[in-house]
């Protein structure tokens, strides 16, 4: 058997394995999104080939997207599940919330990116918070939003929050990995909506701008 044939068979086998895992993830995600779609009067856009299904609905007149995706981290692909709000206007306000890590600690120590201590010892234990307006981000992190974050942070074996930030006209709320059941999806959507609602209220109170 030639080396070219062996390489070809290895590639084909790899594609088959990837397809099997993809279809398993696709089916699980679709089933859970369909349940949330019923609750939120949303619609499902089914993916093609290796893309995954997405749920779309509206909240307070804003478009919301829920799905799962992968990102490359240090040469490795890592899955995350997200809720994305779009059509927003932040008027220059920026924020980002990341899980506390060796990298965020180093960045803070050498001044690459300075964290904002929230004054909540438990929240500061699990998260690195960044913003160009600490008064606003402190008010966004009210009792309810902090409780939501800590529920995800204290899941075993790791803090499940992956990234919460705004960019362009969007807010994205991400957790690590695939969510396995309806309860976790409902918890994710609820946490993201609570965060968005708190953000909206704070920006309206500070500047009375339409967002």
3-state secondary structure of 185: helix
Looking at per-residue pLDDT, the higher value among 145 and 15 belongs to 145
| CB neighbourhood size of 210 (10 A) | 7
Q: Please say whether the beta carbons of 168 and 142 come within 8 A.
A: no
Q: What does the pLDDT read at residue 206?
A: 79
Confidence band for 49, pLDDT divided at 50, 70 and 90: low
Task: Give the torsion through C-alpha atoms of 103, 80, 199, 98, to 10 deg.
Answer: -10
Using alpha carbons, select from 143, 135, 141, 149 the residue that is nearest to residue 93: 135
Return the top range by mean pLDDT from 18-27, 48-57, 76-85, 164-173: 164-173
Task: Note the pTM of the prediction, 2 decimals.
Answer: 0.84
Report which DSSP code applies to 53.
-
Dist. CA 174–CA 80, nearest whole Å: 6
Q: Please say whether the beta carbons of 23 and 13 come within 8 A.
A: no
167-194 pLDDT tens trace: 999 999 999 988 878 899 999 999 999 9
Report the side by side order of strands in the sheet with 62-73: 43-45, 54-59, 62-73, 76-86, 170-176, 161-167, 95-99, 127-131
* The token pair that represents 100 in the structure block: 């506390």
Q: Please say whether the beta carbons of 53 and 26 come within 8 A.
A: yes
| CB neighbourhood size of 206 (10 A) | 14
Report which DSSP code applies to 90.
-
| CB neighbourhood size of 45 (10 A) | 14
Lowest model confidence (mean pLDDT) among 40-44, 70-74, 200-204: 70-74
- For the chain, the domains span 3-207
């Amino acid at each position: 058997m030639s080396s070219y044939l062996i390489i070809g068979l290895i590639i084909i086998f790899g594609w088959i394995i990837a397809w099997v895992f993809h279809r398993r993830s696709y089916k699980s995600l679709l089933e859970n999104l369909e349940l949330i779609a019923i609750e939120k009067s949303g619609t499902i856009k089914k993916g093609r080939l290796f893309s995954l299904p997405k749920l779309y609905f509206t909240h307070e007149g804003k478009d919301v997207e829920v799905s799962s995706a992968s990102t490359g981290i240090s040469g490795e692909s890592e899955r995350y599940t997200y809720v994305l709000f779009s059509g927003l206007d932040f008027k220059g306000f920026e924020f980002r919330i990341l899980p506390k890590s060796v990298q965020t600690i180093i960045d803070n120590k050498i001044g690459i990116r300075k964290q904002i201590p929230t004054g909540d010892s438990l929240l500061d234990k699990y998260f690195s918070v960044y913003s160009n307006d600490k008064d606003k981000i402190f008010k966004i992190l009210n009792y309810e939003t902090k409780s939501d974050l800590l529920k995800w942070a204290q899941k075993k074996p790791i803090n499940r929050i992956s990234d919460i930030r705004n960019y362009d006209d969007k807010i994205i709320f991400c957790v690590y990995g695939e969510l396995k059941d309806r309860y976790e999806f409902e918890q994710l959507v609820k946490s993201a909506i609570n965060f968005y609602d708190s953000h909206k209220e704070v920006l309206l109170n500070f500047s009375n701008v339409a967002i």
